[in-house]
């Protein structure tokens, strides 16, 4: 693990420092460190689970701790981080968001109503599959809290999705050994694709909303 940490520090980036901090947690407190790192990753999306989880798999392969405890603690960390964001969403609530959207240009309170209606129909699927997408893996917990999805259902689908995600990447780290960090490069590509899609959707929304407002004013 120390050689792996040294290779991360050599990259001289804030992101590498975050990963190195996560790896050091595993060095000092074992699989509990995996859970803590993943909890922070859920709350702060810039921390990449795609690097932390394979590192945990490598540590398990080296005998630092068992692969099953690594998976279980990672999933527990996912639940803790997701629950924190869920509670934030629950605190904000629909009423505050409707008020806020009425104050922001191009946004309307009925946008919240439509989102709430959609989430009430598809929330379980969104929470489950959201765990497999960078960025959305964290953010999906907030609307779940806003609409007050039953907490047992939220934790169930979060736990199932996180268990699959964590298991896949920890097992990959186990098999890759000291080359676990190559996974991060591939996941960077996926994350960039997600970001491009999100930006494109935002641009599409802004353009469509501006055209709609112009049509309404022309009537």
User: What pLDDT, on a 0 to 100 scale, did the predictor assign at position 76?
Assistant: 95
User: What pLDDT, on a 0 to 100 scale, did the predictor assign at position 166?
Assistant: 93
Question: For the chain, what is the total number of helices (H) and then of strands (E)?
Answer: 10, 0
Q: Measured in Å, how far apart are the chain's first and last C-alpha atoms?
A: 67
Helices (DSSP H) in 30-108: which residue ranges?
31-43, 49-61, 67-103
Cα–Cα nearest to 48, from 198, 165, 158, 179: 165
Contact 12, 6 (CB under 8 A): no
| Per-residue pLDDT tens listing for the chain (219 residues) | 544 444 444 444 555 666 677 677 787 788 888 898 889 888 876 667 777 888 888 888 888 888 999 999 999 999 999 999 999 888 988 888 777 767 766 667 676 777 778 888 888 898 999 888 777 777 888 889 888 899 999 999 999 999 999 999 899 888 887 666 666 666 666 566 666 766 776 677 666 656 666 666 666
Contact 89, 145 (CB under 8 A): yes
Domain of residue 154, residue span: 2-218
User: What pLDDT, on a 0 to 100 scale, did the predictor assign at position 12?
Assistant: 43
From CA 14, how far away is CA 63, in angstroms rounded? Answer: 29
From CA 53, how far away is CA 51, in angstroms rounded? Answer: 6
How many structural domains comprise the chain?
1
| pTM value surpassing 0.85 | no
User: What pLDDT, on a 0 to 100 scale, did the predictor assign at position 89?
Assistant: 87
User: What pLDDT, on a 0 to 100 scale, did the predictor assign at position 98?
Assistant: 78
* Tokens linked to 91: 């605190």
């Amino acid at each position: 693990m120390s050689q792996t940490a040294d290779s991360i520090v050599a990259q001289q980036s804030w992101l590498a420092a975050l990963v190195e901090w996560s790896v050091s947690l595993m060095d000092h407190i074992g699989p509990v460190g995996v859970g803590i790192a993943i909890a922070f990753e859920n709350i702060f999306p810039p921390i990449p689970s795609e690097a932390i989880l394979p590192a945990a798999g490598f540590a398990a392969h080296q005998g630092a701790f068992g692969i099953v405890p690594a998976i279980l603690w990672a999933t527990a960390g996912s639940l803790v981080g997701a629950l924190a964001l869920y509670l934030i969403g629950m605190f904000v609530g629909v009423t505050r968001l409707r008020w806020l959207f009425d104050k922001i240009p191009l946004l309307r309170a009925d946008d919240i109503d439509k989102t709430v209606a959609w989430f009430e129909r598809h929330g379980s699927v969104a929470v489950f599959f959201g765990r497999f997408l960078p960025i959305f893996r964290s953010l999906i917990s907030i609307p779940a809290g806003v609409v007050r999805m039953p907490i047992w259902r939220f934790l169930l689908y979060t736990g199932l999705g996180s268990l699959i995600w964590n298991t896949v990447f920890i097992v990959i780290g186990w098999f890759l050994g000291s080359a676990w960090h190559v996974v991060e490069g591939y996941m960077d590509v996926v994350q960039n694709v997600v970001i491009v899609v999100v930006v494109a959707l935002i641009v599409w929304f802004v353009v469509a909303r501006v055209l709609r407002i112009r049509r309404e004013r022309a009537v």
